[in-house]
Structure 1
C-alpha cells in the first residue's frame, strides 16, 4: 500500500500538472490533537504552483485542491494547509 504522501503527489500531479509541488507531512506536530492518529499521515502542508490556478481566487484554488484530494479526506486525512497559485508572470 502506498503512503499518503505518494497518493497526494500522484493525485495533484494528475489534476494540476504543477510546475512546483511540495508536500510536507506535519502529523508529528499535531500528535495528541483532534484528528491525529498514532500512525500519522493525518496533517499535511501542500505548496503547489500550476497554470490551472490562473484567474482563480484563493478560496477557489483551495477548493480545487481539496476536491482533488477528496478520497484522502474520506480515508483519514484530517487537515491540509494549502499554499496555491499560478506561475509568476
Structure 2
C-alpha cells in the first residue's frame, strides 16, 4: 500500500478513535474539533514510522523526477 495513503488513513482513524466516544458526551462538532487537536498530539508520537515512510516515498519520487528532468534537458542540449 502507498505510504502516503497509509499515513492519512491512520490519521483519519486516530481522529475517529478520539472523536467518536466524545460525541456521546458533547456536541458532535465540538467532539470533532477536540478529536483533531488530540489526534495531532498523539499522531506526532504514534505515527512516527508511517510519517517517515511517507517522507521517504515522496522524496524518492522527487529525486526520480529530478533525474528524469536532467536527463531530458541533457538530451535536448545534444549531450
Is TM more than 0.5 here?
Answer: no
Output the TM-score relative to the length of structure 1. 0.31
Is the strand fraction higher in 1 or 2? 1
How high is the TM-score relative to the length of structure 2? Answer: 0.33
More helix by share: 2
**Higher radius of gyration, 1 or 2:** 2
